[in-house]
């Protein structure tokens, strides 16, 4: 089973996770820029964070045979802090980088006017840089948030086929299914979505434009739930080809629209562990 996790925050994970992910078949990941739990208070700290997403983290992933790409954006939560908003001016520089395959995570947290402005502005950046957009949907007041998200997407003029609306569930999937946008589901140990529920959604709505991610981060989450979902699909009677479509070909097709996805030498490669200080425990 080859797995592409289209949304995972590896910055928050350990090398143990990389080892277990590689062993479970995860060969490629996309790490969206998001908030780090502790709110940031200046632009410079975003520079270091973004630099790590296009520098250190891809190197770290590479040691475990995992290909790493990123999406870059000012996240909705911190778009509300005037000290962080100048991050928007930095983004064009990052959106030119090889490893950046979309603008994201953008969207809504509390649906404030500041979030409106950052969301619309960053969708325009996606269009200007010919990149897809990864759109986070709010955890609170979610259905309303998704409706408003879709209205902003429609107004922006971006091709819906270049938009991934993430963190959907049984209620919100219905709002997005017919818009032409891609649908993301974050499989969590307890909250957002579970493997058995995901299988039911795939039965109901099919596998087209459906993406499954672990969204693993610094909270209670599990980077192997992509694999668990693939196994649950097989047990429920889906074919190997169905699983490959959801866990590999769909994310490759979505992020491939950037023209920057580099999966060279990956499709058939065995995982190799080149000698380096990380694998050797940071001598």
Site residues for another protein per CB under 8 A = 51, 54-56, 58-59, 93, 96-99, 259-260, 262, 264, 274-278, 280, 283
Min CB(104)–another protein separation in Å: 18
Which CB, 59 or 218, lies closer to another protein?
Answer: 59
Nearest approach, Cβ of residue 276 and another protein (Å): 6
Q: What is the Cα–Cα distance from 104 to 151, expressed in whole angstroms?
A: 18
* Shorter beta-carbon distance to another protein: residue 96 or 241: 96
Give the nearer residue to another protein in terms of CB position, either 99 or 184.
99
**What is the chain's Cα-based Rg?**
18
96 or 155, CB closer to another protein? 96
**Residue whose entry in the numeric block shows the structure tokens 């490959």:** 244
Minimum distance from CB of 264 to another protein (Å)?
8
Sheet strand arrangement including 163-165? 3-5, 26-32, 67-72, 100-107, 133-136, 163-165, 182-186, 210-213
CB nearer another protein, residue 53 or residue 246: 53
DSSP 270: P
CB of 277 to another protein, least distance (A): 4
- For the residues of 11-57, what is the DSSP string, one character each? GGS-HHHHHHHHHHTEEEEEEE----SSPP-SHHHHHHHHHHHTTHH
Residue holding tokens 């270049």? 162
User: What is the smallest separation between the CB atom of 161 and another protein, expressed in angstroms?
Assistant: 21
* E-state strands within 129-195: 133-136, 163-165, 182-186
Provide the minimum distance between the beta carbon of 97 and another protein in the complex, in angstroms, as a whole number: 5
Whose Cβ is closer to another protein: residue 156's or residue 258's? 258
Spatial CB neighbours of 58, under 8 Å, sequence gap ≥ 6: 67, 68, 69, 70, 99
Q: Which two tokens stand for residue 78?
A: 């911190």
């Amino acid at each position: 089973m080859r797995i592409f996790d289209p949304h995972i925050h590896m910055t928050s994970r350990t090398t143990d996770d990389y080892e277990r992910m590689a062993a479970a078949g995860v060969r490629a990941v996309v790490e969206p820029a998001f908030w780090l739990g502790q709110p940031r208070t200046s632009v410079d700290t975003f520079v270091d964070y973004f630099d790590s997403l296009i520098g250190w983290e891809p190197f770290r992933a590479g040691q475990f045979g995992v290909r790493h790409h990123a999406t870059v954006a000012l996240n909705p939560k911190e778009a509300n802090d005037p000290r962080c908003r100048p991050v928007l001016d930095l983004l064009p520089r990052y959106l030119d980088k090889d490893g950046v395959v979309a603008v994201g995570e953008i969207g809504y947290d509390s649906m404030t006017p500041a979030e409106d402005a950052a969301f619309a502005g960053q969708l325009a950046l996606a269009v200007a840089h010919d990149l897809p957009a990864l759109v986070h949907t709010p955890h609170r007041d979610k259905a309303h948030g998704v409706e408003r998200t879709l209205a902003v997407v429609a107004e922006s003029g971006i091709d819906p086929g270049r938009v991934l609306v993430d963190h959907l569930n049984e209620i919100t999937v219905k709002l997005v299914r017919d818009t032409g946008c891609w649908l993301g589901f974050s499989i969590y140990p307890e909250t957002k979505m579970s493997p058995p529920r995901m299988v039911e959604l795939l039965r109901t709505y099919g596998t087209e434009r459906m993406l499954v991610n672990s969204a693993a981060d610094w909270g209670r989450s599990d980077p192997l739930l992509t694999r668990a979902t693939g196994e649950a699909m097989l047990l429920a009677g889906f074919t190997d080809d169905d699983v490959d479509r959801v866990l590999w070909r769909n994310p490759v097709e979505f992020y491939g629209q950037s023209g920057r996805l580099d999966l060279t030498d990956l499709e058939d490669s065995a995982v190799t562990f080149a000698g380096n200080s990380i694998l050797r425990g940071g001598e």
